[in-house]
Every structure is written in structure tokens, then in C-alpha cells.
Amino acid sequence: MDWSRLQQALTFEVDRHFNDVQGKQYRFSEFLRLQLQTPPESWAAQDRDRLRSLSDRFETYGDLSYGDRQHLVAETRRTLHQLRSIYQVSGVSEGTPDRVPPESKPSESKPSVPNPPVAKTPKTPDLS
């Protein structure tokens, strides 16, 4: 999972007012749908399902209202931030978790994670 490209694409879309911007190869929604539909098999089933569900929702991104697009992008950012904290191990993003995933610790609840800050002047992402 290329966390930085995903984050860059999300930031660029926010800065362009949720207009489903065209990248070098894909529109924003196509890029996110493709990137999220095949999470690493080493991840917990629940986390793979979360990404696939988000991927499915990007299929109709162009038909969503402005507010619904904002909500979907914000939810995607939160989800990726949570999953990155679980699965990114010393720069290796497709390995096993560096800690036990939350679903295997039933006595603990997932902490609330705020949205990551938005960059002021992002570079044009390579949505290819």
C-alpha cells in the first residue's frame, strides 16, 4: 500500500474542491477505487473489508453531492490513518501488523483519530 500516494491524492482532491480531478492516467475516484480494492492479504479480514467497502463507494463518486464527496474523502483519510498506524512497520507497508489488530483484542476499543492536516500547496499527484 503506497500510503504517501494515497494521502497525496486525497489532499489534492480536497484542495481542488472535490471535483474528481484528472491525474496523468486516472481520475481521482478511479485511482482510489483501484488502490483500495486489493489490500494486502496479510491484513486482517475486517481491515481488508473496510478498504474494499470504501473502494466500492468510489465507483459512484462522480454522482455524489458535494457534501457526500467531502464525507467520503474524510472517512477514507481517517480509515487510512488508522490502518497505517497498524500496518506500517519500519517503512514496510504490506507486512504483518506491528501490533495486534484491534479486532483481536475485544476488551479494547479503537481510539478516535483526528483527520491528518491538509497541506497548503500540494504537488500534482501521479494518479497513474
Residue 80 covered by a domain: yes
What separation in angstroms does the CA of 19 have from each of 13, 45, 128? Answer: 7, 32, 18
Residue 96 covered by a domain: no
Residue 124 covered by a domain: no
pLDDT in tens, 15-62: 999 999 999 999 999 999 999 999 999 999 999 999 999 999 999 999
Residue 37 covered by a domain: yes
Residue 104 covered by a domain: no
pLDDT category at 92 given cuts 50, 70, 90 is very low
Letter string b/e over residues 79-116, b meaning 16 or more CB atoms within 10 A of that residue's CB: bbebbbebbbeeeeeeeebeeebbeeeeeeeeeeeeee
Number of domains into which the chain is organized: 1
Q: Which domain holds residue 47?
A: 3-90
Residue 125 covered by a domain: no
Residue 46 covered by a domain: yes
pLDDT in tens, 100-124: 444 444 444 444 445 555 555 555 5
